[in-house]
Structures are given as C-alpha cells and as structure tokens.
C-alpha cells in the first residue's frame, strides 16, 4: 500500500549517495530549500543536486567513486548536522557525551541528537529515518578491525541494533607491526593505520585506508529504529586491548 511505498522511498533516500531535486525551474526557492533540508536530515552525507528536466552533468552521478576512501574522509570531515530546527525534519542539537543531562546513563562517545532511548545523539524526523554519529572519546582511541568487522556483521545481518540501512566510518587502529610488539597501547598508538568502513543494506566492507588522515574516529549510522545503546556498547567492545 501507500505506507509501504513511503517506507521504501525513505529507505532509498537513506541509502543514496546523490539525490536529484528535479523541477527546480517551477518550484519556489523556499520550497526547494525546505525539501533539501528534509533530505539532508534523512541522509546527511548525500549530495543534493537541483535539476530541471532531469538534466545534470553525467559526471556528478556516474563514476563518482562513492566507496572511495578519500571521498569518505572528506564526507565525514564536512559532516555538519543542523543545531536546531522546528520544521518537519525534526529537532537537532549537539550534546556532550559526558555532560548530557537528559541522558539516563553515561556515554563513551560524543554525538549528535535528538531521539528516543534517552539519548541525545540521534536525529529523528517524522519520516522515520534516523541518523546517529558516534565519535571516539579521544584521539588516542584505537579499534580492532577484526572486531569491527564481526560486530558490523551482527548489526547488519542480525539487526541487533535496529534497522541500519547505511553506515560509514573512519577509524584508527594499531599497525600490525606495532600491535605485535611489546610496549602496550602507548607504543601501538604511536604507529597507527586508518581504516574505512562502508555498508549498504547487508553488504559492507572494512578495509585499510593508508592515505586517509583520521584525527578522531567517526561512525555514522542511518536507518530506522536505531538502538543507540546497542550501537555504543558494540562499538566500545571493538576498542583495541593490548
């Protein structure tokens, strides 16, 4: 029915890398702006292109290397979600994972909010699509790539943290040579590698990104019914332990 079509449409928006806002020539600017803001709330990393008669440069929609690690780094670095909104896209704000008075329990990550589950790092709109950004607590936090991969398999295949449609991330891990040496975490932190994760539906990959610069690890989840605590706890379990 119509509800099922609406849910599928929202899911496709959440999974997209590029969104075309057509009929720009006959749509008032204020309405185009509202629609663009709504789309950005549903998928904060997608590029929104305005078009007339569906005419856009092919280079902007084909061969864009959506899973390229350099592109991923730029996307996450410039990710800025609205600090407040009273429109249909929902309300948003920044909160500190350590000082958030509205959270029932303490966090180990900083994020963006607002949502259910007592958490203030989730964006929820009336379209039902949610965006959750988790970041490492310090620049010294290191993650184990094998644990991240195993955890993502549970999240995407078994839906242990709600319905995740899309996920992206860049994180720091100890280099294999460094992690095998004696000296513990401090020595491993001095020699680290960047890793990238990308997931769409039930397909995902976690690969080393040697040319990417990662100051703080970031993990973005887009979906429906996201379970914040489950994602935070799972990510905490992926931290590197010497």
**Tens of pLDDT along 27-62?**
999 999 999 888 887 888 888 899 999 898 888 888
Instruction: Determine the pLDDT at residue 71.
Output: 65
Q: Which residue has the higher pLDDT, 95 or 202?
A: 202
Centroid of chain to Cα 192: 22
User: In 3-state terms, what secondary structure has residue 138?
Assistant: coil
Instruction: Determine the pLDDT at residue 120.
Output: 44
Q: Is the pTM of this model over 0.75?
A: no
Q: Which residue has the higher pLDDT, 133 or 72?
A: 133
Nearest residue to 18 via CA among 73, 57, 52: 57
Cβ-based burial of 193 (10 A; exposed 0-12, middle 13-18, buried ≥19): buried
- Distance from C-alpha of 128 to C-alpha of 88, rounded to nearest angstrom: 11
Question: Any residues with CB less than 8 A from the CB of 177 and at least 6 apart, and which?
Answer: 191
Instruction: Determine the pLDDT at residue 62.
Output: 81
Instruction: Determine the pLDDT at residue 169.
Output: 92
Instruction: Determine the pLDDT at residue 69.
Output: 61
Please check the confidence at residue 105 and state whether its pLDDT lies above 80.
no
CA angle 22, 60, 73 (to 5 degrees): 120
Please check the confidence at residue 101 and state whether its pLDDT lies above 50.
no
| Numbers of helices and strands, H then E, in the chain | 7, 10
């Amino acid at each position: 029915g119509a509800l099922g079509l609406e849910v599928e449409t929202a899911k496709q928006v959440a999974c997209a890398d590029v969104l075309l806002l057509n009929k720009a020539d006959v749509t008032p600017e204020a309405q185009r702006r509202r629609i663009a803001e709504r789309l950005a709330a549903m998928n904060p990393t997608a590029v929104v292109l305005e078009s007339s008669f569906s005419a856009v440069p092919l280079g902007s929609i084909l061969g864009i290397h959506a899973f390229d690690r350099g592109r991923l780094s730029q996307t996450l670095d410039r990710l800025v979600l609205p600090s407040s909104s009273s429109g249909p896209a929902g309300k948003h704000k920044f909160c500190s994972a350590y000082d958030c008075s509205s959270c029932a329990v303490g966090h180990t990550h900083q994020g963006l909010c607002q949502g259910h589950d007592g958490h203030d790092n989730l964006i929820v709109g009336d379209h039902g699509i949610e965006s959750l950004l988790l970041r490492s607590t310090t620049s010294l936090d290191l993650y184990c790539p094998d644990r991240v991969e195993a955890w993502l398999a549970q999240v995407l295949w078994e839906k242990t943290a709600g319905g995740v449609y899309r996920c992206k991330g860049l994180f720091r891990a100890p280099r294999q040579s460094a992690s095998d040496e004696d000296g513990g975490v401090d020595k491993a932190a001095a020699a680290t590698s960047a890793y990238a994760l990308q997931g769409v539906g039930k397909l995902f990959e976690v690969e080393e990104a040697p040319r990417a610069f990662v100051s703080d690890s970031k993990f973005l989840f887009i979906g429906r019914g996201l379970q914040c605590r489950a994602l935070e706890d799972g990510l905490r379990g992926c931290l590197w332990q010497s």
